[in-house]
Structure 1
Amino acid sequence: MAGLISAMEGFCVIGIVIAAGYLAARLRLGGPQAQYVFNRLSFFIASPCLMFAVLAKESIGAIFHSSLIVAFGSAMLVGVVFLVLNKMFFHMKAGDATIGALNSLYVNSNNIGLPVATYILGNPALVAPILLMQQLLFTPVALTTLDILDNGKVSAKQILTQPLRQPLLLGSLAGMIVSIISSNVGFFVVPSFLFDPISMIGDSAVPMILRAFGMSLCGTKPMQDKEGRAATITVAVLKNAVMPVIAFLLGYFVLGFRGPELYGCVVLAALPTGQNVYNYAARYNVGMTFARDGILLSTLTSPVFIAIIAALLS
């Protein structure tokens, strides 16, 4: 029970930061471009530094844990399910559908995942495989799609060089390289006078994303888009309810997980959609309302599903 309460406190912390962003926009403290500036700084500078700092200090063994198979399989399946449902019922354009798929499968593995993994599961390193999967696979694929749609053309060169234009991926790869080198030589190879400022900049990423998300709520009424309401509810159900069920089935029947290992996979699958999805939508100016509403609804309902999972499996 104490771990569950601590995890709920993590949700409270996030809500307060979002509320601070909303209040700043309400009072017009940052000017009309504040939300745009926060999004750009986070996407190009702070978030890559965060991924480098997290992965550089993480062991490769933890990053490539077998739970990565469960995380990948459950995420892929719910993403495909949304795209099928969109084809059948919602008929969104390609850019909005890409954001919808991300809303369905993208896990908030950092600012909610870390406290959940720490206080409920007792091992913060459990989120490392999810960080790796999202930054090395799902994010590049989604951003490549959005980039191609934004430019209006497709070329082999553009596809092959797309990862080189994704700061998050570059930061993640650099962190993994440092982790491998450090494990081989027996000590952390980046001196503190270089690592500390990178880590400090990275620490600003999540607050900036959350404040920008809060600012986006000012002057708008979530869930007021009647045409997109069904799709928004669908992505929240896929993320918070369907994805944990798939994770349980894969972990239990395919990989033979039991006990804490199975419990951890299912709890992490029930995490809400990451605020990064809104950051990506804002970067390409596509599906922003859809992304915002999906993240908000998923974040509000996720604690309920995590509590149910804790009651059933812990």
Structure 2
Amino acid sequence: MIFEAVQAVLMVVVIIAIGYFVARKGWAGKTVTDFISNLIVNVTLPCTAVMAFLTSFTAETLADSWVYILASFAAIGITWLAAKLVIQIAKIEKERRGVFTALFSFSNSVFIGLPVATAIFGEEALVFALFYYVANTTFMNSLGFIEIARDGMELSCGGKGVRFSAKEILKKIFKPPMLAVIAGFVLVMLNVRLPAFLSSALTYVGNVTSPLALMFVGMILQRTGLSCIKKFDRGISWALVGRYAVSPLVMLGVTACMGLAAFPSEVLTIQMSLPAMVTTTIFAEISGADTEFAARGVAVTTLLSFLTIPIYILLFTYL
């Protein structure tokens, strides 16, 4: 069980390392990373979101399982608010607050979350992990993207403080990733099934999202220097607290208050206690935010998960 979970993390590290090697060879300069980030956000990630809904849910499962989706939304929302409190306590720099909130609040629920859930609990855990994915993705593609975009604006104006108009907020929310989540939800609720050729095309395109995003993290780490991982400033330190202490405790509290059974509660808690979401780095790059800080956060939380995931497995197995 522990071996399978650690293998999922090892796979992530290997793909990040490939991205680092590609950049080190000089094959992935700024033009290439700009292209990759835009390709993921505008093309491959939306394909992934639509197909995740169509292949994982029916109108009945979504309607019958609202309590698990609600628990996920509530836990992530509370963690997001906790990140806001930490920002004030730790005095996180204005131009890093959006990236910090994403690192603190949102987990890598697809590339690590799904393999870890099935490795620990079996195939029956997959559906609960996907319920969490819906909430996690919706939050990241809306609030997460807006706040990271605000970081970019802060950097461009010298940290003087920025405010988005309602129109600007709507434009940033309704980007392709969020539109894809909405489209996927609507298609499922209307029982629409895509033609086989279109479904296959979206699946093939969407399948490159996670490996591309992970290689992108490696490319950014090479650009900024691998030694940046050793920089445990207060932003990274508090992000680790959010990922591996606050997030799982919040989910345990929410599921207890809602009276959920032990099995789904444990699956959802594991999903909350995973490394930071890789998309954080992608959104930072296309928004002109602190990509180096985002890449460090993703890399450090991923490496630390070699220790934390086995601990969680032992806790849920023997307690």
TM-score (norm: length of structure 1): 0.88
Q: Which runs of 5+ in 1 are unaligned?
A: 183-187
Contact map agreement 2:22 2:28 (CA 8 A) in 1: yes
Other-structure match for 1:168: 177
Other-structure match for 1:134: 136
Other-structure match for 2:228: 222
Q: Partner letter of residue 91 of structure 2?
A: F
Other-structure match for 1:243: 247
Other-structure match for 2:236: 232
Secondary structure of the equivalent of 2:228? coil
Q: Select the residue among 298, 301, 305 that pairs with 2:301.
A: 298
**How far apart are 1:149 and its partner, in Å?**
6.3
Change (3 A) 1:230 1:149: closer
Matches within 5 A, 1:36-51: 36-51=34-49
How far apart, CA to CA, are the structure 2 residues paired with 1:210 and 1:172? 21
Q: Partner letter of residue 44 of structure 1?
A: N
Matches within 5 A, 1:260-279: 260-279=263-282
Larger mean CA deviation between 258-267 and 145-154 belongs to 145-154
**How far apart are 1:118 and its partner, in Å?**
2.0
Q: Does residue 101 in structure 1 map to residue 93 in structure 2? A: no
Matches within 5 A, 1:75-86: 75-86=76-87
Q: Partner letter of residue 82 of structure 1?
A: A
**How far apart are 1:18 and its partner, in Å?**
0.6
Other-structure match for 2:70: 69
Q: Partner letter of residue 288 of structure 2?
A: N
Contact map agreement 2:107 2:277 (CA 8 A) in 1: yes
Change (3 A) 1:311 1:149: closer
Contact map agreement 2:109 2:277 (CA 8 A) in 1: yes
**How far apart are 1:106 and its partner, in Å?**
0.7
How far apart, CA to CA, are the structure 1 residues paired with 2:83 and 2:189? 36
Q: Does residue 197 in structure 1 map to residue 201 in structure 2? A: yes
Q: Partner letter of residue 112 of structure 1?
A: I
Summarize deviations over 1:177-203 as a string: whole Å, max 9, x none: 222222xxxxx6211111111110000
How far apart, CA to CA, are the structure 1 residues paired with 2:38 and 2:279? 12
Q: Partner letter of residue 12 of structure 2?
A: I
Q: Which runs of 5+ in 2 are unaligned?
A: 154-161
**How far apart are 1:31 and its partner, in Å?**
4.2
Contact map agreement 1:233 1:297 (CA 8 A) in 2: no
Summarize deviations over 1:90-126 as a string: whole Å, max 9, x none: 2411x41011011001111111111112222222222
How far apart, CA to CA, are the structure 2 residues paired with 1:282 and 1:198? 24
Summarize deviations over 1:270-294 as a string: whole Å, max 9, x none: 1111101111111112121221111
Larger mean CA deviation between 189-198 and 139-148 belongs to 139-148
Other-structure match for 2:121: 121
How far apart, CA to CA, are the structure 1 residues paired with 2:173 and 2:86? 29
**How many residue pairs end up in the alignment?**
302
Contact map agreement 1:266 1:309 (CA 8 A) in 2: no
Contact map agreement 1:78 1:105 (CA 8 A) in 2: yes
Q: Select the residue among 3, 24, 46 that pairs with 1:5.
A: 3
Contact map agreement 1:236 1:298 (CA 8 A) in 2: yes
Summarize deviations over 1:123-142 as a string: whole Å, max 9, x none: 22222222221333342123
- What is the CA RMSD across the aligned residues, in angstroms? 2.2
How far apart, CA to CA, are the structure 1 residues paired with 2:105 and 2:201? 32
- State the identity %: 20
Larger mean CA deviation between 191-200 and 27-36 belongs to 27-36
Change (3 A) 1:312 1:189: same
Change (3 A) 1:264 1:146: closer
Other-structure match for 1:185: none
How far apart, CA to CA, are the structure 1 residues paired with 2:92 and 2:27? 39
Contact map agreement 2:129 2:268 (CA 8 A) in 1: no
Larger mean CA deviation between 13-22 and 292-301 belongs to 292-301
Q: Partner letter of residue 53 of structure 1?
A: M
**How far apart are 1:61 and its partner, in Å?**
4.9
How far apart, CA to CA, are the structure 2 residues paired with 1:141 and 1:198? 25
Secondary structure of the equivalent of 2:277? coil
How far apart, CA to CA, are the structure 2 residues paired with 1:88 and 1:117? 33
How far apart, CA to CA, are the structure 2 residues paired with 1:193 and 1:68? 31
**How far apart are 1:146 and its partner, in Å?**
4.2
Larger mean CA deviation between 146-155 and 104-113 belongs to 146-155
